[in-house]
Structure 1
Amino acid sequence: MKKQTPGLSDAYALSTPEDSRRLYADWAGTYDQEFAADQDYLLPGLTAKAFAAAGGTGPVLDAGAGTGLCGEALRELGIEPVDATDISAAMLAEALRKDAYRDVIEANLLEGIPVPRGSYRGVVSSGTFTHGHLGPEVLPALLRVAAPGAWFALSVNAKFYEKGGFADALDRLLRGQWIKGLTLPELCIYGPRSTGAQKDDTALIALFQKV
């Protein structure tokens, strides 16, 4: 019997880091075509464009980089160098094939990122802050590796934003003067060719600077 290709419903149902590694190991080889292309997945490119429009520059960390769609979009916008980090070695292997990254770092963001403090002038993330994945508990780890003044462009599934606690977390960071200039433009995750159950979903792009 042919093994069924994983899909978005499987990703949204994840509950542990090991579940994530297992799912994305199975999905890595078909993700770009059978999900991103077939479902007109716009979010990685839109996240990259939001980062560039805000004035973001390299070096950039792409957090939860997956197969490298956001890094590829950044490179097309002339933003380099970019490093990728993801929990899935299989997804990072696909990202390396795109030749969009200076380096790839296999890491569980809940446990931190093994790079020196202040290594990056920018941090992007597309598709990682959503159902079954990560919440705002990883923001301190991302802030640690960012230099003062670094721009962030983090996509957050709009339905997950309140449920996941992002509003409160970002408000605490603003009040604590860890970040400044927060805006939250809302964008469509998928284009008009999408036929999936989530085809009308939107994401908030949390744009801000580290103080």
Structure 2
Amino acid sequence: MAQDLEAAYGLDTPDDNIALYRDWARTYDAAFAEDMDYVLPMHVAEAYRDGGGTGPVIDLGAGTGLCGAALRTLGISPVTATDLSEEMLQVAEGKAIYDRLFTGNLLDRLPVGDGTFAGAVSSGTFTHGHVGPEALPEVLRVIRPGGIAVISVNAAHWSDKGYDAAIAALEGVEATWKEVPIYGAASKGAHAKDLSRILTLKRSVG
């Protein structure tokens, strides 16, 4: 597990990402999420609910469906999933969480229209080796005016990639954040105490 996490943090390209998660998909839930007591997806889902988020919502970088499952637990639906890894989405599809699933790249353009969703969530995607603040405009593009996006951003990644400046440059958006643990009390290893910032972006109505 530790080797896989370090490999994920060290990714350089979308092709590297696809290769890693192709091999990790089938063991991700047991060998990572359960072993590390991965509580971040529920933090994101709860923040979305507490911010007034409703369906339809898109789960960006959905992986094996951990955040989607948390949304469903909180009574939020319908939920759409997208991820760069087809293999991770195949695992998610087997859980019958999502109403629709498709592969997509946040660093390019997702195959959905402007304002398709009432909101968006993302857990564990805005982090080392993955997606940076340059994807925030695309996140906002797919949600409606008045809608919200709740995304987790690894706290160290936030500082390294200049999220404060990127958020300040967004127009027509109200931004707030809070810091939470990525892993629960049962976690262990070098990353057990890692933190994430839960960023909430609300699009203005006008």
Structure 1 length normalisation: TM-score? Answer: 0.94
Q: Of 33, 37, 42, which aligns to 1:36? A: 33
> Once the 2 structures are TM-superposed, how far is the Cα of residue 23 of structure 1 from its aligned partner?
0.1
| Aligned AA (2:196) | A
> Once the 2 structures are TM-superposed, how far is the Cα of residue 6 of structure 1 from its aligned partner?
5.5
> Once the 2 structures are TM-superposed, how far is the Cα of residue 57 of structure 1 from its aligned partner?
0.4
Residue of structure 1 equivalent to 2:129: 132
Q: Of 196, 201, 206, which aligns to 1:203? A: 196
Q: How big is each residue's C-alpha offset from its partner over 1:49-98, in whole Å with a ceiling of 9 and x where there is no partner?
A: 11101110010010000000000000010000010110000000011111
Percent identity among equivalent residues? 49
| Aligned AA (1:49) | E
CA distance in 1, matches of 2:3, 2:61: 18
SS in 2 for 1:80: coil
Which residues of structure 1 form unaligned runs of 5+? none
SS in 2 for 1:28: helix
Q: How big is each residue's C-alpha offset from its partner over 1:155-200, in whole Å with a ceiling of 9 and x where there is no partner?
A: 0000110211211111111xx32x11x2111000000111121000
Is 1:56 the counterpart of 2:66 in the alignment? no
Structure 1 outlier segments of 4+, above 2 Å: none
SS in 1 for 2:64: coil
Is 1:104 the counterpart of 2:101 in the alignment? yes
Q: How big is each residue's C-alpha offset from its partner over 1:76-130, in whole Å with a ceiling of 9 and x where there is no partner?
A: 1000001011000000001111111011110111111001111000100000001
Which residues of structure 2 form unaligned runs of 5+? none
Cα pair 1:15 1:132 within 8 Å, conserved: yes
Cα pair 1:5 1:27 within 8 Å, conserved: no
Residue of structure 1 equivalent to 2:90: 93
Structure 2 length normalisation: TM-score? Answer: 0.96
Residue of structure 1 equivalent to 2:181: 188
Taking only aligned residues, the RMSD between alpha carbons, in angstroms, comes to: 1.2
